[in-house]
């Protein structure tokens, strides 16, 4: 640090990793070896999918029936509700399916490294494709494990090129 410069004060919201889907697409993206130095995690995602489908999450490669989720969603004509219990994955976003109008989600994983708690996840997501429809959703989810989250896998049948998923850590 050069003399005379203002002190650098690092922020509490830090970028951990970003995945951009390449040519050919993929059925998943994964964040691994997540640092255990934050209080909460946030994933900000832009997903290009070509048929209506959800984005599902798994933690620490757990494929057991340890996930539950609840959803409130609206499509412009009605507000609807859905849920899943004792599932092998967790829905946290849904897209109407369009190659150029991205689905978006902001997902928070709170107290991700606390080994005294099951993990609570919340998400705001949506997708509007103008004359072809739209969908906005609130989600709440639960991973029934007291393990610290060290990896997160996000899946959808076809996640197209240019989709982008960014993982952030938030400090106390």
Should residue 83 be labelled a site residue for another protein when binding is judged by CB under 8 A?
no
- DSSP element (H, E) containing 69: strand 67-74
Give the whole-angstrom CA distance, residue 138 versus residue 168: 20
Cα–chain-centroid distance for residue 120? 12
79 binds another protein (CB under 8 A): yes
Residue 74 sits in the site that holds another protein (CB under 8 A): yes
Query: Which has the closest alpha carbon to 111: 39, 57, 165?
Result: 39
Do the Cβ atoms of 58 and 155 come closer than 8 Å?
A: yes
Which of 102/112 has CB closer to another protein? 102
- Which are the contacts of 138, defined by CB distance < 8 A and separation ≥ 6? 71, 72, 73, 122, 123, 124
Q: Which stretch binds another protein (CB under 8 A): 4-12, 21-29, 113-121, 147-155?
A: 4-12
Which of 46, 110, 148, 155 touches another protein by CB under 8 A? 46
Q: Say whether residue 133 binds another protein (CB under 8 A).
A: yes
Residues 13-42 interacting with another protein (rule: CB under 8 A) = 13-18
- Applying CB under 8 A, the residues found at the interface with another protein are 10-18, 44, 46, 48, 72-79, 100-106, 124-131, 133-136, 138, 162, 164, 166-168
């Amino acid at each position: 640090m050069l003399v005379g410069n203002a002190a650098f004060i690092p922020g509490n919201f830090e970028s951990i990793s970003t995945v951009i889907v390449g040519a050919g697409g993929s059925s998943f993206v994964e964040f691994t070896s997540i640092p255990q130095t934050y209080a909460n995690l946030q994933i900000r995602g832009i997903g290009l999918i070509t048929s209506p489908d959800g984005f599902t999450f798994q933690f620490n490669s757990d494929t057991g029936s340890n996930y539950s989720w609840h959803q409130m969603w609206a499509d412009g004509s009605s507000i609807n509700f859905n849920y899943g219990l004792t599932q092998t994955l967790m829905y946290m976003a849904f897209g109407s399916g369009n190659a150029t109008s991205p689905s978006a989600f902001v997902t928070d994983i709170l107290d991700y490294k606390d080994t005294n708690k099951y993990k609570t996840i919340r998400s705001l997501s949506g997708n509007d494709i103008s004359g072809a429809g739209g969908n906005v959703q609130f989600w709440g989810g639960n991973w029934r494990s007291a393990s610290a989250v060290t990896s997160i896998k996000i899946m959808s049948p076809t996640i197209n090129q240019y989709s982008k998923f960014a993982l952030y850590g938030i400090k106390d």
